[in-house]
Chain A
């Protein structure tokens, strides 16, 4: 089990941007969109067999032709004076039916990704994921940024539309990042890489739906491209977002009127400038979350 490099690009001090699927696929859509726009070139992969169950088989005329596994691939791009390595994991190596990676396999996967970062002398690692937030789906999602060292805080404060955990209402600077998008940040710290996780906000009532949330991916990508000093055209994400928004609206209309009324109030939440009819109180926040949870529980029980 290990890394297979198809070529060894000559890179000086690249940065690594890594992502795996997660809630709303926010991080992976952002990272993969950037990889696509920049036409980064594949140069290696992590061998999948011990991490994943196969995802596809092809049998032709009775003969097993091939077995396909979820991919974990590395790409690189030189861009003026900048060099970027992308890592895209098609699945998180989960165990025992869990949604996110944890335990030995997750740690091993994070280590392998960072082995490549070390080999090519990466000086910075970015990961990306989702931040479940009390926002409305018509609002522009913010980006929650978590660095793995205090020295990066000042830099993050200069990013637009970005908040630190200490800026999040009621968080007090604390929280968790589940799965490999978070774990990589920690393993990077252990191995001496500076790293930042950028998480796009997704409305609390959408976190359980099997839908991507490209609106938040766009927010992440805006921050990421600004941080990298790269200009990117985000039209593809806008198109994707429009399609998803239609489905979200359809779902939203199915929510009972009483709960929807509560959720509608989130439209008026503004983070930088309180808007009329005034911010939602802590008690109201709690009620909204409880109502949404009840609704999903009932929906789940109903099949």
Chain B
């Protein structure tokens, strides 16, 4: 299972950390960053210097290997093949799960429907019993490029590794923060699919807490409430309104940290 460290809503990092914590994941390998990231200095995030990381963890009792990684900025083919080499040769993986967060222009109160993109019809069949949208049609739009998830799934197919990219929508105004509801949705699917039997009560509390905070923000600031009401009515906000809502929510939730 692969999660990207810098996903919207911090999805990849939070989900992989959560699984490692709950399943006692042990680090066993990493990808040397030299070829894949510019080594011209360090980035600073939240006052802390960061360095690109691509770490593998194993949870042997659950037959699960986890990779939490930054997105490579060069030599993508080599990077993804390195990941698949570890997956195939060291872990002998049977299936590949790749997480992805997609920005949604809906409200946080709307149900989160997971979307699955698979690299084989057999894998699609396997997923029929789960609550996933498995029928998405998509092609790259002008000016865009495919995601690393698609690249990885394509390479996995060349090695006959069945794979699925699991996408969860993140409301745009939570994209720069954490979205426990999105984490819960993905984790519930993984738990069910992989038979992990995880107790999610702590995460449910987090969801409740964030929902309460958002409710307070709505009651305290009529403008925020108006924007979210409109999103709940499936109306589209202007670009400026989107920006303002995201900024004010970020400021408000940030105060509670």
B145 within 8 A of A: yes
A64 touches B157 (CB 8 A): yes
A201 to chain B, nearest CB (A): 29
* Chain A window 51-68, contacts with chain B (Cβ cutoff 8 Å), 1 for yes, 0 for no: 001111111111110110
B150 touches A63 (CB 8 A): no
User: Given known contacts A50-B77, A54-B150, is B117 in contact with A64 (CB within 8 Å)?
Assistant: yes
Which residues of B lie under 8 Å from residue A57 when comparing CB positions?
138-140, 146-147, 150, 154
A59 touches which one: B38, B117, B120 (CB < 8 A)? Answer: B117
Which residues of B lie under 8 Å from residue A95 when comparing CB positions?
74
B145 touches A54 (CB 8 A): yes
- How many residue pairs link A and B with beta carbons under 8 A? The number is 69
A67 touches which one: B73, B133, B135, B151 (CB < 8 A)? Answer: B151
What's the Cα separation between A59 and B135 when bound, in Å? 9
* Chain B window 77-88, contacts with chain A (Cβ cutoff 8 Å), 1 for yes, 0 for no: 110000000000
User: Given known contacts A53-B76, A95-B74, A96-B38, is B135 in contact with A62 (CB within 8 Å)?
Assistant: yes
A59 touches B139 (CB 8 A): yes
B77 touches which one: A49, A55, A59 (CB < 8 A)? Answer: A49
B116 within 8 A of A: yes
Closest to B163 in A: A64
How many residues of A are counted as interface, with CB atoms below 8 angstroms from the partner's CB atoms?
18
Query: How many B residues touch the partner, as a band?
Result: 20 to 34
What's the Cα separation between A64 and B137 when bound, in Å? 9
B118 within 8 A of A: yes
Which residues of A lie under 8 Å from residue B120 when comparing CB positions?
63
B133 touches A56 (CB 8 A): no
A63 touches B77 (CB 8 A): no
Which residues of B lie under 8 Å from residue A96 when comparing CB positions?
38, 73-74
B124 touches A50 (CB 8 A): no
Which residues of A lie under 8 Å from residue B115 when comparing CB positions?
62
B15 to chain A, nearest CB (A): 21
B139 touches A63 (CB 8 A): no
A53 touches B154 (CB 8 A): no
What's the Cα separation between A258 and B29 when bound, in Å? 62
B248 within 8 A of A: no
What's the Cα separation between A66 and B145 when bound, in Å? 13
- Chain A positions 34-51 with a Cβ under 8 Å from a chain B Cβ: 49-50
User: Given known contacts A64-B119, A64-B154, A67-B154, is B74 in contact with A59 (CB within 8 Å)?
Assistant: no
Closest to B164 in A: A62
What's the Cα separation between A58 and B116 when bound, in Å? 14
A64 touches B74 (CB 8 A): no
Interface residues of B (CB under 8 A from A): 38, 73-74, 76-78, 115-121, 124, 133-140, 145-147, 150-151, 153-154, 157
Q: List 13 A-B contacts (CB under 8 A).
A: A53-B76, A53-B151, A55-B140, A57-B146, A59-B138, A60-B137, A62-B135, A63-B119, A63-B121, A64-B119, A66-B154, A67-B154, A95-B74
Interface residues of A (CB under 8 A from B): 49-50, 53-64, 66-67, 95-96
Known: A57-B140, A62-B136, A96-B74. 9 other contacts (CB 8 A): A53-B76, A53-B145, A54-B151, A59-B117, A62-B117, A62-B118, A62-B134, A96-B38, A96-B73
Q: Which 8 A-B pairs have the closest CB atoms?
A: A57-B146, A62-B134, A67-B154, A59-B138, A56-B140, A57-B150, A54-B146, A49-B77
